[in-house]
Amino acid sequence: MRIYRVLVMLAAVPLISPTMLGAANAASTGASPLQSQISKWKTAGEKGEAWACFNLGLAYHLGKDVEKNEAEAIRWYLLAAEKGFAAAQANLGYCYETGFGVPVDYAESVKWYQLAAQQGHPFAQYNLGKKYQTGPGVPIDPKMAEKWLRQAAQRNFVPAYFSLGQIYANDTSGNADYREAFKWFKTAAEQGYAPAQHAIGYLYFEGKGVQTNYFEAVKWYSLAASRNFADSHYNLGICYERGFGVPQNLVAAVTHYRTAAEFGHPYAQYSIGVCYYEGKGLEADFLQAYKWWNLSAVQGIPEAASSREILTRLMTESQIKEGQRLASEFVPRQSTAHEGPKPVATPSADVSEIKRVGTGFLVSSDGFLVSTLRTVAGATNIQVITEGGSFTANLVHADPLGDIALLKVLGVFQPLPLVPTRESAVKDGILALGFDNENQGQFNPKVARGSITALLGFQADPRQLTLQPHVAAPFVGTAVVNRHGQVIGMMLAVPPGTVPSEAKDSPPPTVSYALKSEHLINFLRSIPEAKPLVEEPRSGEASAVEEVLSRARAATALIVVL
């Protein structure tokens, strides 16, 4: 009997609907954060508070602390989405994508994804990019797919790196660029994304974009397999069976074939059937061979169907029935490759419990961010809200003289680069992304555009810059960036005594102050575990404003003290 082995490159990756990268910890009592909040959310939701409407939709969606109710989930999501709440819009896209609470409607799904994506929501941008890449719901448009996937990637949404790699690895038109694909795959693979780790393994195995290296292929396949990626288990089975990159080992080959087969991999089911038929790496067993070939044939593998047909000539009728029974009882395990879309799973901050808010920005990819010490001083519960979700933060270091607080959250992020301000000059334009006084715990930053008016700060303080215009108090702690998107300072609170009294005829403040980045850099470098992203000042033509804002948004954090 002829044995077929097909190396699998890339499994199709399902749309990944908006999933937060982290979630707030439960209270020390162990009680669910939703349990004591449902009634408050209902009161606020009935008043039209978008954040509360979203939280209620999520509660009914997940069935957490309330009975699961798809219709109620849709009702509350819709109320929040119509008020422009991005997370609710993204979840409505998910619902129409999967048929949760509503009939499947890809066009409606795309509509809500677009609204959320236009607000900078990375998960929605990714989903929209995948729609343009594969459909349905919109005409397939590779340029639009790349546009939205790149925007999601700029916000460090890891699956977007992988999908961009898929675009460059697509050789249907004969224009594949495997070197560029390798770069995108490597970025995602190094952050633990199993499909990308598998893709890197395949490129090393086939010598596409890189020199053939079976040892590297096995290394990357093994990393993906450790994350339950079925295709990698199958390819490792081939490597161990034939001795590619590892010593030939039929027992190990069978182990990987079986694991992939249990995940429902059709080629692995065929291969483990061959092993049972021939007694390779285990004892021959026609019943098991029939079971696996039957399962593989049902999934459309012609070799399995023909092998099963030949095997039936060697089996009794009762053995065939027993093999059919074994196949009918099979329940596949959940593989990383078949993980379906998920909704946003983290509730928005409860406005009624917010004591104060401010802004911060990420300075390292592993979750260190800075804000002002005044924003978080004395806080026992600090929440950080970014485009990627809501996180519990810990204050790890502080500089009272510089009014600097260093916070830490768990996750992988896209930081902003800091540069010394020595190249900055009066009249240089600046941008700052922060939050206004109307903010209600939702990540919806506003843009402040201005300029440097003095290289000294309050009372000629050499550590500070003076800027125009004056910004709202929640902007305190935001990054002040130059025309290249590099941080030249951190917005400070207006010093006491400089704000005019509340008398009717008192003019409003006209300037703001920022701590120069040199002092931030020195502070961060004094902390061994913090590894800030520091660059040299750039010269030449300014970066596109849209690019600067996109990077700033990805690194901006709303600081909420509860």
Residue 74 backbone zone (phi > 0: left; psi -120 to 50: alpha; other: beta): alpha
Beta strands in 290-408 (DSSP E): 356-362, 368-371, 382-386, 389-399, 404-408
Is the pLDDT higher at 441 or at 281? Answer: 281
All structural domains of the chain: 14-21+37-156 (1.25.40.10), 353-561 (2.40.10.120)
What pLDDT is recorded for position 377?
Answer: 87
Q: Is the pLDDT of residue 481 over 50?
A: yes
- The whole-number pLDDT of residue 29 equals 39
Going by pLDDT thresholds of 50, 70 and 90, the confidence category of residue 345 is: low
pLDDT value at residue 543 = 81
Asked whether 511 and 426 are in contact (CB, 8 A), the reply is: no
Say how far apart CA 485 and CA 335 lie, in whole Å.
Answer: 40
Q: Is the pLDDT of residue 394 over 70?
A: yes
Over residues 80-132, the pLDDT tens digits come to: 999 888 889 989 998 999 899 999 999 999 999 999 888 877 788 888 998 89
Mean pLDDT of the region 358-378:
91
pLDDT at 10: 47
Residues 542 and 438: their CA atoms lie apart, in Å, by: 32
pLDDT at 546 over 50: yes
> Which of the given ranges, 328-337, 477-486, 544-553, has the highest pLDDT on average?
477-486
Lowest-confidence range among 103-107, 152-156, 404-408? 152-156
Lowest mean pLDDT among 21-30, 238-247, 250-259: 21-30
What is d(CA 185, CA 204) in angstroms, rounded to the nearest whole number? 12
Instruction: List, for residues 516-543, the tens digit of each pLDDT value.
Output: 999 999 999 999 888 898 988 888 888 8
Percent of the chain having pLDDT more than 70?
86
Name the helix (H) or strand (E) containing 560: strand 556-561
Q: What's the rounded Cα separation, in Å, for the pair 216 and 230?
A: 18
**Quick one: pLDDT at residue 478?**
92
Q: From CA 273, how far away is CA 257, in angstroms rounded?
A: 9
**pLDDT band with cut points at 50, 70 and 90 for residue 344:** low
Amino acid occupying residue 74: I
Instruction: Give the model confidence (pLDDT) of 300-330 as tens digits.
Output: 999 999 999 999 999 999 999 999 999 999 9
Q: Which residues of 170-206 are buried (b: 16+ CB within 10 A; e: fewer)?
A: eeeeeebebeebbebbbbbbeeebbbbbbbbbbbbbe
- For 17-59, write each residue's pLDDT tens digit: 222 223 323 333 344 444 567 888 888 888 888 888 998 999 9
pLDDT in tens, 324-340: 999 999 998 877 654 43
Whether the predicted model's global pTM rises above the 0.75 cut: no
Question: What count of other Cβ atoms lies within 10 Å of the Cβ of residue 487?
Answer: 29
When mean pLDDT is compared across 140-144, 211-215, 358-362, 505-509, the lowest value belongs to 505-509
Q: Which residue spans within 409-517 are E strands per DSSP?
A: 429-434, 446-454, 464-468, 479-481, 487-492, 512-516
